[in-house]
Structure formats: structure tokens, C-alpha cells
Homo-oligomer: A and B are copies of this chain.
Amino acid sequence: AMAAERALAMATCTAPVNIAVIKYWGKRDTDLILPINSSLSVTLHQDQLKTTTTAAASRDFTEDRLWLNGKEADVGHPRVQACLREVRRLARKRRGGGEDAAALSLSYKIHIASENNFPTAAGLASSAAGYACLVSALARLYGLEEELSEVARRGSGSACRSMFGGFVQWQRGERPDGSDSLALQVAPETHWPELRVLVLVVSGEKKPVGSTAGMQTSVETSPLLKHRAEVVVPERLAQMMQHIRDRDFEGFGQLAMRDSNQFHATCLDTFPPIFYLTDVSRRIIALAHRYNAHHGHTKVAYTFDAGPNAVIFALADAVAEFVEVVRRSFPPATNGDQFVRGLPVGSAALPPELEAAVLTEPVLGAVQYILHTKPGPGPQLVDDPSQHLLGPDGLP
């Protein structure tokens, strides 16, 4: 076939990170990565946080290879292999029917290069964007057009949610083979134009327990996690979808905070206990509650993943004031000029009664910087060939 004769094919995609507002924690099948409960996330805009991945196949490649942020990495990683295998299986199935002009030999070795536009050390879970991007680039390479969240899930559970923009549900599914454990878009990123996201990057101490090991210990030892998955989450998921449909920030924010707290509660109920929140996280939480109490309603809502960084939701008109509150509470130790990054933030003066009610003794340098972003779209094809991360020789 013509298709099988193409010597080198290449595709580049970008993909977003996402932040869960109803949290995923715990697998019922560790191999297929099937969760014990459904979850719901907001996809963040790729202008601020994205992964770019180029996948190339060539009859001249002698082995599969992988580069992450410019450094060669282990392409034999079981999760990378699972994604590769699943995409190839779907491609094979598709071609079973007949000729495909874009078809590429499935026996060719593959080169993959991937880069993040944000520091991986910042603790902003990059695996979701990474695997969503890998699967998107491979799908383009092999000419697949189907929904592939089930494949991305095999790389990293939450990666399936990064396969869509806006507001995304990862439904738990019932089938043992995981074929119904996939992501669904609840609403596109255009649905709630006023919604903003502030990532407060906290100065890290040492790396905590990784999520994969952590959630497995939680499933095995936490009686509260079991109850959360079976009873609490199904109720909350329905409520959260309604809040999003209604663009009800009060309801959305309250529930996001409660669910973040409950996730960290189940980590503490794990044995030995897991702590992702630090004293600084705790100060940010208290600050958000004082700020909301001062205003008499929910102006900001926090959520924390498996790390100390806070992700804050707010409506656009609250951003400038809250950023100033954060700046006054955690004055930058050094890089004062780069303290606020991403989307522009206006300046705001704090009314004296707000200062008195909300601010406490400032803690220098506890927040490294604030990244201002908003909901954004799902994976994107990069059309411009000059943007490929691999050269015509198939090397970075």
C-alpha cells in the first residue's frame, strides 16, 4: 500500500493540565487505572501551562526512543508502552476495514519528544498534560479521529480529563475492562467566561509521597476513603455539575473547597498518614476563609492536589484585590518583579477595614509566585512544521 511506503511521518500536539474540583484518589484496578470514584476537573489554559509533544515514525528508526524536556528517558516505561500499544491497536482495528491514505506502517519504530512550558519542579502535576499530549500526538500520527480519553487514562488516570477543554467529568465506569471509564465534557471553556484561576506556587520542602503509591496505601488503609467514594462523591458530583451549568460561583467554590479538604482528610486517614498540605498551605486556606468572611460570600475558593501549591478560583473582578492580599500576606523574598505571571492583573488598593479583618503577620517568601490563568481548550494540533520538537532526522 502507498501509505506503508511513507518514510517519515511526524505530528505535533499540545495538551493542557487540569485541576480537579471533585477529586480522584484511589484505583479499583491499578493496571487498567480504573478509579474508585468519578471526578470532575477544570482544564487550564495552554497559554500558561501546556505540554508539547512530537511523535515521529520512520522505517529508518532502529528503536523506539523518548525525550522529556530535552533529556532522553525510558521509552520502555509500562505506562508509555500501554498508551503506544492501545493507539496502535485502535489504528490496526481501523484499517482492518480497508485502505487508508494516511496509513503508516504500524511496525515502524517511533521517536517521541515532549516538553513543558512550565517548571516540572513546581509540583504542577505534569503527567496529566504529558500523557494527554502523547496520546493526541500518536493519534494524529496514525490518523485516528476517535475519542481517546480511555487510552490517555492508561498513561495517568487524570490524563483522560486533559483530553477535553473546559469542565470535564471522568466517569468511574462499571465494566471490568474499563471501556466505560472515560472523560466527558460537562461544558466547554467558553461556558463561564468570567472564571479565573490563580496558582500559588509554594516554596517546596522535600518531595512528599508520590500519588500512585499514596493512593494505593489510602485504598488499602483508609476507612474514610471508602465511604467518600461510595457515598459522598456521587452526591457531590451531581451538585458540582449543576453549579457549573448554573455558573453559580458560591456553590462551585464552596464545594470545591470542601472536596479538596476531604481528599486531604482521607490522606491523613491513610496509614502511615500522608500530608500534602504544609503550614503554608494551611495559612493560605485560613486567608481565603478570612477574605470570604470579610466579603460575606465566596469570592475565592481553594483546591490543593497532591502537593502544597494552592489553586485558587475566582471571578475576574475579584482577581486584582485577592492578588494584592496574597502579595501582602506572603511578600516575595527575591524576584518581586516576576511575582505575578500569566494573564495581566490590575492593581488594587486594599480598604483599611479589609486590611484589618483579613491580613495577619506577613510571611516572607512562603509563596514563590502567582500564575494567573483561566479555563482553556483541550489538546491542539500544531500545524506549523517549524514547531516540531524533532528534526527531519527524527532527533531533537
A231, A279, A289: which has the most chain B beta carbons within 10 Å?
A: A279
Q: How large is the interface on A (under 10, 10 to 19, 20 to 34, 35 or more residues)?
A: 20 to 34
With A and B bound together, what is the CA distance between A227 and B231 in angstroms? 10
Stretch at the interface among A18-26, A66-74, A173-181, A260-268: A260-268
> Interface on chain A toward B: helix, strand, loop, or mixed SS?
helix
A365 CB–B CB distance under 8 Å: no
A278 CB–B CB distance under 8 Å: yes
With A and B bound together, what is the CA distance between A269 and B277 in angstroms? 13
A204 CB–B CB distance under 8 Å: no
A273, A278, A289: which has the most chain B beta carbons within 10 Å?
A: A273
Contacts of A273 in B (CB 8 A): 261, 285
Complex interface residues of chain A between 265 and 291 (CB less than 8 A to chain B): 265-266, 268-273, 275, 278-279, 282, 285, 289
A227 shortest CB reach to chain B, Å: 4
A232, A257, A265, A270: which has the most chain B beta carbons within 10 Å?
A: A265
With A and B bound together, what is the CA distance between A261 and B224 in angstroms? 11
> Known contacts A224-B228, A227-B224; is A257 also within 8 Å of B271 by CB?
yes
A223 CB–B CB distance under 8 Å: yes
Contacts of A261 in B (CB 8 A): 268-271, 273
The contact of A223 among B232, B270, B282, by CB within 8 Å, is B232
With A and B bound together, what is the CA distance between A272 and B284 in angstroms? 12
With A and B bound together, what is the CA distance between A329 and B211 in angstroms? 27
A258 CB–B CB distance under 8 Å: yes
A218 shortest CB reach to chain B, Å: 11
In contact, B268 and A289 (Cβ under 8 angstroms): no
Least CB separation from A257: chain B residue? B271
Least CB separation from A223: chain B residue? B232
Least CB separation from A280: chain B residue? B279
In contact, A268 and B271 (Cβ under 8 angstroms): no
With A and B bound together, what is the CA distance between A235 and B275 in angstroms? 26
Contacts of A221 in B (CB 8 A): 258
Least CB separation from A268: chain B residue? B265
Contacts of A262 in B (CB 8 A): 223-224, 268-269
Least CB separation from A285: chain B residue? B273
A275 shortest CB reach to chain B, Å: 5
The contact of A272 among B227, B271, B289, by CB within 8 Å, is B289
The contact of A279 among B228, B272, B278, by CB within 8 Å, is B278
For this complex, 12 residue pairs linking A to B, each with C-beta atoms less than 8 Å apart, are A223-B228, A223-B232, A224-B224, A224-B265, A254-B271, A257-B271, A261-B268, A261-B270, A265-B265, A275-B282, A278-B279, A279-B279
19 further A-B pairs in the complex, CB-CB below 8 A; given A221-B258, A257-B271, A278-B279: A223-B228, A224-B232, A224-B262, A224-B266, A254-B271, A258-B269, A258-B271, A261-B268, A261-B269, A261-B271, A261-B273, A262-B268, A264-B268, A265-B268, A265-B269, A268-B268, A272-B289, A275-B282, A275-B285
